[in-house]
Amino acid sequence: MNPKNNPPTMQEIAKRLGVSLSTVSRALKNHPRISEKTKQEVLKIAKEIEYEPNQLALSLLNKRINAIGVVVPQIKYHLYASAISGIEKAANEAGFNIMICQTNELFEREVSIVKELIASRVAGLIVSVASESRDFAHLEQVLRKGIPLVLFNRDCEQLKVPKVVIDNYTAAFQATEKLIESGCENIAFLAGPPQVQISNKRLTGYKSALRKHHLQIDYDLIIHCEFSQENAANATLKLLRSRQQPDAILAFSDQMAIGAMLSVKEAGLKIPEDISIIGFNNEPVDLLLEPKLSSVDQPGFEMGQIATQLLLNQLEENYEELNPPKKVLATKLVVRESLRF
Amino acid sequence: MNPKNNPPTMQEIAKRLGVSLSTVSRALKNHPRISEKTKQEVLKIAKEIEYEPNQLALSLLNKRINAIGVVVPQIKYHLYASAISGIEKAANEAGFNIMICQTNELFEREVSIVKELIASRVAGLIVSVASESRDFAHLEQVLRKGIPLVLFNRDCEQLKVPKVVIDNYTAAFQATEKLIESGCENIAFLAGPPQVQISNKRLTGYKSALRKHHLQIDYDLIIHCEFSQENAANATLKLLRSRQQPDAILAFSDQMAIGAMLSVKEAGLKIPEDISIIGFNNEPVDLLLEPKLSSVDQPGFEMGQIATQLLLNQLEENYEELNPPKKVLATKLVVRESLRF
DNA sequence: TTTTTTTGTGCAAAGGATTGCACAAATAAT
DNA sequence: ATTATTTGTGCAATCCTTTGCACAAAAAAA
């Protein structure tokens, strides 16, 4: 009716009906002490003027908004897109909205985003830290303020909070073992930057598998590089020129595996005949590559759901967890054409 | 200091210093009437107790939060991921946060998301409607309430609001013409659902190009199907069995083009020798396909930035646009191996 | 010295909704 | 008829911050 006007308030209803604010409030909440007649009248006018409760005012009362802050490196990574869907589902079911923010792997950005979210009084935070981040004062402050926090995917050992991660050690162990069983002997590992914990966990799993099968660990075959496809492609070129040419590559991510594939093909080598390749993340694109890329599937959606659950637990009245839980989710190696049998 | 406590307020500072609330407020905002001494003291305590202004209270005063609601079908679509980055950048520069929500192409979800965002009192909405949506009462309500709204990518003619779209007609026209110039004569169009306006615009462009070059429009070669890869693959199978086998396919999206590629290969046909293929969106995956997929590149990031700008304009004091602007962005056909020369 | 101006603070309302407490009217119990 | 209970509403404080107005003290001008 009144375009460009202020949104209708309960005041409005109260005035029209000649009752008090409290009565309107109670009528809308179906309070038992309010007469049926009054309730009907209030509801009628509310509908008439398209009244919607002002969440802002409610939030001020509750001292927090009805939303969970989600901080991820990049939403375009398949894993995060899935995780966000999982978070969204679980959060909505519990009546929460989510505020998604991306750090683009930048530490500065992460700090300011977290500050912003705190200032907006989100009910809690679900975070996967930027690869750049090494100082976690901003997250410690979140804890100090008593704001529920859950970390997922990327762990961060100094922070004592609930976490959901995948079993990176076992995942890499199994993938490596699979390569060994299929006859590979010189398995390269294309790792992420050396400060990234999940990369290091995988590296450990990789080494353990080699040891278990009495294979030499050749440090020329372990290469650290930034996450991009391009960096991986360059690193692979180096690998192919190394003293002992690899007959398999285990890459930290599918993006890196793809980079590796490109370089391998460019060098005139055949996948998987000359070199087998396994990636991580099981991105949809894997199915479209030639050969189809084998990959470690991570339960992103589930990870998001669980992370949310852990956060919701903290929001419970009587929560008092002394030893925050750390859920470790299992992965599944998806074998495709890039693997020789 | 006080873990699990309520966040510190200005009250706290005022009490400690024995001054009034207003003085604290003014000191923090560097009001000229406050003495330098008082300012220093206030600032000192503020830092000490880690005071952060409560955005909620501010928002209540301003009658809106410091955030823009962004509603998209799915964040995992490359176009939307880029657009979101563009929106985020522009919004942050203007001091706004963004709240991203995905509809998963569901009408119901879209309606409830929009309701939620309105109730949260976002400063404005940037929306790309779900493919399912045909009724736009929820968006009309946004307008009626005087909340700034911008539509992007997916147009919706009955809504008189600022829009940013790409020139779908010309994009399809040029792509079709390119196919014709490279010698194709039976060009199929793999369209989206018939109610989707941008699909229809592209269809019109496709037809115009055929007409311009005096080619017959063969309605057996125009197929409507849902957006998924699988549906496109099935539709393509049908196409390949049709009376007049196509020698080129223009697909509504890269996902659909990929579906088509799979079916074409499965049928034992060669791309581009037997059939040329062009998609839309220029997704990163295009480069990884064999053959590399040609595609119409859409300026997603830019689209997001412009959409945000149009929204910010509406937030200006004296905004009074009678004829809401519609920005039409140009696309660029990226020619790759899937196209014969 | 008296009047005017400047400087530094405080009071109180506003923004929208919730809720414990109080109170009157209606109903039930004695 | 009197007391006890139930039922329906309203008052006012609360959440946190901003800001126009008022007012006293200090400084400047007359």
pLDDT at A5: 67
What is the per-residue pLDDT across B265-318, written as a single tens digit (0 to 9) for each?
999 999 999 999 999 999 999 999 989 999 999 999 999 999 999 999 999 877
**Which of chain B's residues 58-87 bind strand D, using a 7 Å CB cutoff?**
58, 60-61
**DSSP codes of every residue in A58-108:** HHHHHTS-SEEEEEES-TTSHHHHHHHHHHHHHHHHTT-EEEEEE-TT-HH
Query: Position B273: which residue type?
Result: E
Task: Report the chain B residue with the minimal C-alpha distance to residue A92.
Answer: B113
User: Domain B65-165+300-329 maps to which CATH number in 1.10.1370.30, 3.60.10.10, 3.40.50.300, 3.40.50.2300?
Assistant: 3.40.50.2300
Query: Position B133: which residue type?
Result: S
- Average pLDDT of the residues in B170-196: 96
CA of A54 to C1' of D14 (A): 17
Instruction: Please indicate whether, in this complex, the C-beta atoms of B121 and A289 are within 8 angstroms of each other.
Output: no
Pairing of strands B67-72, B97-102: parallel
Instruction: Please indicate whether, in this complex, the C-beta atoms of B50 and A118 are within 8 angstroms of each other.
Output: no
Nearest to A150 by CA among A121, A128, A131: A128
Both tokens of A69, joined, read 């802050």
pLDDT above 80: residue B3: no
Nearest to B68 by CA among B303, B300, B314: B314
The helix/strand/coil state of A201 is helix
CB contact at 8 A, B43 and B10: no
Fold for the domain defined by A63-164+300-328: Rossmann fold (3.40.50)
Both tokens of B291, joined, read 């053959």
CA of B60 to C1' of C8 (A): 29
Instruction: Please indicate whether, in this complex, the C-beta atoms of B288 and A146 are within 8 angstroms of each other.
Output: no
Model confidence at B253, in pLDDT bands (50, 70, 90)? Answer: very high
B95 in reach of chain A (CB within 8 A): no
pLDDT above 80: residue B50: yes
Give B5: exposed, middle or buried? Use CB within 10 Å, 0-12, 13-18, 19+: exposed
Nearest protein residue to the C1' atom of C20, measured from CA: A22
What is the per-residue pLDDT across A215-262, written as a single tens digit (0 to 9) for each?
999 999 999 999 899 999 999 999 999 888 999 999 999 999 999 999
The helix/strand/coil state of B331 is coil
pLDDT at A155: 86
The span from the CA of B152 to the CA of B164, in Å, is 5
Asked whether residue A23, judged by its CB, lies under 7 Å from any atom of the DNA or RNA strand D, the reply is: yes
**CATH 1.10.3470, domain A10-53, yes or no:** no
Query: Position B63: which residue type?
Result: K
B145 in reach of chain A (CB within 8 A): yes
Mean pLDDT of chain B: 93
- Chain D positions with a protein C-beta closer than 7 Å: 7-12, 14-20
- Chain C positions with a protein C-beta closer than 7 Å: 7-12, 14-20
Between the alpha carbon of residue A198 and those of residues A129, A280, A312, B149, the distances in Å are 12, 12, 25, 42
CB contact at 8 A, B306 and B328: no
Disruptive mutation site among A48, A96, A120, A317 for chain B (greatest number of B CBs within 10 Å): A120
A243 in reach of chain B (CB within 8 A): no
Nearest nucleotide (C1') to alpha carbon of A20: D10
CA of A11 to C1' of C17 (A): 10
Residues 279-298 of A with CB under 8 A from B: 285, 288-290
Both tokens of A328, joined, read 């470790």
Both tokens of B214, joined, read 């005096």
| Residues in chain A, total | 341
pLDDT at A75: 92
First to last CA, chain B: 71
Fold for the domain defined by B168-298: Rossmann fold (3.40.50)
CA of A23 to C1' of C21 (A): 15
Distance from CA of B25 to the nearest CA of A (A): 16
Stronger pLDDT, B84 or A157, i.e. the higher one? B84
CATH class label, A168-299 = alpha beta
**DSSP codes of every residue in B263-282:** HHHHTT--TTTT-EEEEES-
**Which of chain A's residues 33-92 bind strand D, using a 7 Å CB cutoff?**
33-38, 57, 60-61, 63
Q: Which residues of A touch B61 (CB under 8 A)?
A: none
Instruction: Please indicate whether, in this complex, the C-beta atoms of A119 and B55 are within 8 angstroms of each other.
Output: yes
The span from the CA of B329 to the CA of B71, in Å, is 20
Instruction: Please indicate whether, in this complex, the C-beta atoms of A53 and B119 are within 8 angstroms of each other.
Output: yes
Model confidence at B149, in pLDDT bands (50, 70, 90)? Answer: very high
pLDDT at A195: 84
For chain B, domain boundaries: 10-53, 65-165+300-329, 168-298
The low-confidence residues of chain A, meaning pLDDT below 50, are 1-4
Backbone angles phi, psi at B283, to 5 degrees: -70, 150
pLDDT above 50: residue B18: yes
The span from the CA of B135 to the CA of B107, in Å, is 9
Do A63-164+300-328 and A168-299 agree at the fold level? yes
Q: Which residues of A touch B50 (CB under 8 A)?
A: 141, 144-145
CB contact at 8 A, B129 and B138: no
What secondary structure letter does DSSP report for B316? S
Q: Which residues of A touch B285 (CB under 8 A)?
A: 285, 288
Q: Which residues of B touch A59 (CB under 8 A)?
A: 56
pLDDT above 70: residue B1: no
Nearest to A72 by CA among A125, A3, A29: A125
The helix/strand/coil state of A318 is coil
Distance from CA of A115 to the nearest CA of B (A): 9
The span from the CA of B242 to the CA of B222, in Å, is 11
pLDDT above 90: residue B59: yes
- Choose the closest CB to B75 out of A75, A99, A121: A75
Nearest to A246 by CA among A208, A224, A272: A272
Nearest to A152 by CA among A135, A170, A141, A139: A139
A56 in reach of chain B (CB within 8 A): yes
Between the alpha carbon of residue B214 and those of residues A196, A208, B177, B246, the distances in Å are 60, 68, 11, 17
Tell me the H-state helices in A182-325: 197-212, 229-241, 254-266, 300-315
